[in-house]
Structure 1
Amino acid sequence: MDGILVSYRLPPLNGLRAFEAAGRHLSFKLAAQELSVTPGAVSQQIKHLEQILGVPLFQRMPRGLILTGHGEAMLPTISDAFERMSAAADAVARTLPTKALRLGVSPNLTDDPHGLLAKLANKEQAPDYVLITSTDDVANLLSGALDAILRPGPGPYPGMHAEVLNLHQAFSPHAQASLVVWPGLAKCREFLKTRSLLGSLG
C-alpha cells in the first residue's frame, strides 16, 4: 500500500516565533530582547506574517500592542506548539544552547548572591544558565535590563509573574522572597531551573 504524502503548509516560522513572543509580552521591544533581534526585525516579521495570512494580528497603539480577534484566537495554539517543540527538543538534546537568565538578587537577601547560588548548585561558581546582578531595583526589570528579580517579601507586582519562596535563615535573614519575572519567561527552561534551585532554600 502506497504511503500518503503529507505536506504542511506553514507560514514562516520566524514570523510565527516573533508573533508568539510579541503576543505574550504585548511589546515588540520585549519580544526583540527575548529573541535577540531588533524591535524593527520583530515588527517586519509580524507584518510579513500578517500579509501572508491576510488578517491583522495586532493593533499598534501609542503605548503598546493589542491583539486583534484573529491574534487572540491564534496565540494559544501557537504558544502550545512552540512549548511542545521545545519540550521535544529538550528530551532529545539536553545540551541545546541556551540564553542565560539575567537575575537580579536583592542585597538585602544575601551579601553574596553568586556564592549563594553556587552553594545551592554544589558548584564553585553560579550555574551557567543564570547571570546574577546584585540589585533591588524593580526598574531594571521593567526596563528590560533584567529578566527576573528576587526581592524580600510577597509583593505585589501587578502585571508580572511572581512566586513567593520560603527562605531558610541559614541563607537569608528574610523568611520569604518574591521571584518576579516577565510572564512570557515564566515557562522558559532557564527560569524553571533557577526557580527550582532557589526553591531549595526553604
Structure 2
Amino acid sequence: MTYILPPLNALRAFEAAARHLSFKLAAHELHVTPAAVGQQVKALEARLGVRLFERLHKQLILTAAGQAYLPEVSDGFRRIADATAQLKPVGAALLQLGVHGSFDLRRLELEQFRSSHAEIGLRVLQPAGLHELIEGKVDVLIARGVGHHPGYRCDRVTEGSGLGDWLIAPAGTADCPEISSFRDWLRGLPADNSLALHRRHRLVGIVRS
C-alpha cells in the first residue's frame, strides 16, 4: 500500500503549533523561526485545501478541521516514536551522532566507544549538518566552523583559533547522560589524536538564546 502523506516538516509544524496554539512556542520547540512555522502550516493548508487555524490578532485558534486533525496527527507521531524506541538495543539509550562530510570517523575511535559504553546504542549519520540537528534527525553534531548557534551548546573539539570542529547539542539535552558520555569520550582521546579535547583546557560551552 502506498501512503499519500503531506510533508513531514509541515505536519510537525502544524502539530506543535496546534498543541501550543502559538507559532512562537512551536518555533522554540522545533528550533526554527516563527515565520518558518507559519509558512509550513500555510503550505500544509494549501496542500490539504482546508484551513486548520483561524489567525486572529495575537491569537491562534484551531478550526473544526484542525481540531479533528490534531489528535490523529499527534497519535501518528506518538506511534512512530514508540516504534523507533523499540528498535534501540536492549537496555540501551540511543544516541544519534551527526558528522560533517569531510570528517574522518576513524579519529573518533567509535568501536572502542561502543565497547566501553554498552548502555548506549550509538548510530552515526554522515554527512550531517545543522539542518539534520534542527530537524531532530541527530541528537548531537560534529560540525565544522560553527562556534555558536542560538539555543545550542557548542564545544570546540580541536585546538587552535581557526574554524575547527565543534560538538553541538540542543541546550535542553546537552547534558543528558548519553551526550555527556560522548563529550567525555572526546575529552579522553589519546593526546596524539588531533581531535582530543586537550586536557590543559576545559571545554567552554556556549549557549545563546
What is the TM-score normalised by the length of structure 2?
0.45
Query: Taking structure 1 as the reference length, what is the TM-score of the superposition?
Result: 0.47
Greater RCO, CA 8 A, separation 6+: 1
